[in-house]
Amino acid sequence: MDEFAPYNYLDSGRFVGADIDILGDAALRLGIGMRFVPLPWRRALLAPGMGEADGLFQLAPTPERFRNWLMVGPLRTTRLVFVVMADSPLRDFAGLGVLAGYSVGVVDGFTYTPAFDASTHFLHEGSVDDETSLRKLLLRRADVVVGGEANLRHAMRKLAVEDRVRVLPTALDVRGRYVGFPRSDAGRDKAERLGAVLRRMHAEGRIAAILRHRLGG
């Protein structure tokens, strides 16, 4: 887990956010403690295999990850959107072709959709996080930024730039977000127990209620 507002981040020395609430509730139901370890994303992907963590969240779904991890979830979904400057000629997203020739801000190590990740029609301008991508957009070092809508809107409010940028109406995709465990006996036990609790929480509407409380809407 890396800091990823508004889903998980440090506030006055305490971890908060929608994902923290969901997993904290799940831990209470399981009768276990849960310690959150913030790591840079590339290191976080290696942490369970190195014994630094039991599992990892939140993972975007890819065939490779389903092969390599025991993927539990989805924990929730994320709407992937594009942000441009208010004066950008790009009015909406109508397929990857509209991005041809543009520089698109992405977060290094993140996966978006297979077609987007593999596209060579535009430049992938890497950054360490969504806030840095937005700063590049403001400096005209990127033409477009892609990311989770809640994350980007949080960064827009933090930077006080909601009047200078806009979110394109049509999303790139809506994708589930998962918790990953190593493919081991211990990992399988944890995955099965957490998966059962998350399914109950979804069925009860508990996860939807947490997301409404944390994200609004």
Q: What digits encode the pLDDT tens for the residues 115-139?
A: 999 999 999 999 999 999 999 999 9
**Tokens 């190590």 appear where?**
109
* DSSP notation for 94-140: -SGGGGTT-EEEEETT----HHHHH--SSEEEEESSHHHHHHHHHTT
- What spatial distance separates the first Cα and last Cα of the chain, rounded to whole Å? 25
- Please check whether the domain covering 78-173 is classified as CATH 3.40.630.30: no
Using a pLDDT cut of 70, give the percent of the chain over it. 98
Kindly report, residue by residue over 170-195, the tens digit of the pLDDT: 999 999 999 999 999 999 999 999 99
For the segment(s) 9-77+179-215, the CATH number from 3.50.50.60, 3.40.190.10, 3.40.50.1360, 3.60.15.10 is 3.40.190.10
In this prediction, residue 12 carries a pLDDT of: 84
Q: Is 9-77+179-215's fold the same as 78-173's? A: yes
Three-class SS state of 57: strand
